Amino acid sequence: MKKYNWQTIGHNKIVKILQKSIESNKLAHAYLFSGKEGLGKRFLAEKFINSILCHDYNLQNKQEVKSLPCNDCVFCNQLNKKIHPDVYFLKKEEDKKNISVEQVREMQKVLHMASFLNSYKIALIDSADDLSESAQNALLKILEEPKSKTILLLISSDYKGLLPTIVSRCQIIRFLPLANETIFKHLLELGASREQANLLAALSHGQIGGAINFYKNQDFLNEYIENTKQFLALFNNNISNQFKILDNLLVGFKNNFEINNQLNKELDYWQLVLRDILAMQYNLDNLVINLYFKDKLADLAKKYKSWQIIELLAKIKAVKQYLKYNINPRLAVENLVLNF
Ligand SMILES: [Zn+2]
């Protein structure tokens, strides 16, 4: 067994599967790394690719590698600089709606060229959820006729949007949220106090990327705190104040499309807070995410009945449906907050 310096947090089973496939040279033609944002899929994908190429290079040169990736060979150096000629990164261009069929064809051309360094050709698609329908069809053609020593690695937060024929041709690697305990320990290692680590581990609900971001980026944390305060102020307030809070939430968003997007994010978040209140009502405090606001949430858990919270959750779900059908987003949410 080789030594690996992947420095991953959690996901032990996945790490073992991937490392074993490198050592036994049993690599799949296509992988689908699936799971919510912030679980470390991208990080692990890069370590995996780096190790495949480093391992292969050292095998070809009959060199013994002490650890993988070695961070020393030609491949490792090129990968670290993101200039490796055999690795292709496919992603949505910033000003575009999706990954186009032309982009997939371009990727295919590159994959079909012989490897510069006589090794694997690897494409990383991040994120596959951005592929347009025609781009997916073009990708399917590539997957149907796999070439030897070619690997496609798709990253997806929700592969239900992908063609089932694509999914069935990939080895699916499912990423699950990490245990709070794992994140807690990692935050302590980064230097957080126990109290801080406890609050942030709960808040990140299994997303290590989010936890690190909250810890390292004070603005990000402040934004969360401010946002939650505003949401909690919707309860037991008069209409004019409630509408002022909505104004604040939507300040800076110009058209209905932007407002819609913003409200969708906001509603996802409201659901999480309401679930916390429900959890408290059922004495399931260990499930509470927003520990920062524990006292205020406990207050609301006493003031409101469970059925009222459940009804609010159902109404939020309904508003999210309306938003899909181009209904005036502001109006839909105004109607909702009158129920708080
Ligand atoms: Zn190397």
pLDDT at 130: 95
What distance in angstroms lies between residue 262's CA and the mean position of ligand 1's atoms?
A: 43
What distance in angstroms lies between residue 68's CA and the mean position of ligand 1's atoms?
A: 7
d(CA 231, CA 320): 17
pLDDT at 191: 96
Does the reported pTM lie above 0.75? Answer: yes
Find out whether 167 and 138 touch, Cβ atoms under 8 Å: no
Per-residue pLDDT of the chain (340 residues; tens, 9 = 90+): 578 989 888 899 999 999 999 989 899 999 999 999 889 999 999 999 999 999 888 888 888 888 899 988 888 998 888 888 899 999 999 888 899 999 999 999 998 887 777 789 999 999 899 999 999 999 999 999 988 899 999 999 989 999 999 999 999 999 999 999 999 999 999 999 999 999 999 999 899 989 999 999 999 999 999 999 999 999 988 999 999 998 888 888 877 788 888 888 889 999 999 999 999 999 998 899 999 999 999 999 999 999 999 999 999 999 998 888 877 888 888 888 888 8
Superfamily of segment(s) 3-174 = P-loop containing nucleotide triphosphate hydrolases (3.40.50.300)
Q: What fold characterizes domain 217-337?
A: Zinc Finger, Delta Prime; domain 3 (1.20.272)
pLDDT at 330: 82
Q: Which of 41, 154, 148 lies closest to 90, judged by CA?
A: 154
What distance in angstroms lies between residue 78's CA and the mean position of ligand 1's atoms?
A: 9
pLDDT at 215: 95
What distance in angstroms lies between residue 181's CA and the mean position of ligand 1's atoms?
A: 33
- Kindly report, as residue ranges, where domains of CATH 3.40.50.300 are found in the chain: 3-174
**Residues measured by CB to lie within 5 Å of ligand 1, the ion:** 54, 69-70, 73, 76
- Kindly report, as residue ranges, where domains of CATH 1.20.272 are found in the chain: 217-337
d(CA 9, CA 6): 9
What distance in angstroms lies between residue 48's CA and the mean position of ligand 1's atoms?
A: 12
d(CA 161, CA 167): 10
What distance in angstroms lies between residue 37's CA and the mean position of ligand 1's atoms?
A: 28
What distance in angstroms lies between residue 52's CA and the mean position of ligand 1's atoms?
A: 9
pLDDT at 64: 82
Q: Cis link prior to 85 (omega < 30° from 0)?
A: no
The residue assigned the tokens 């992947």 is 6
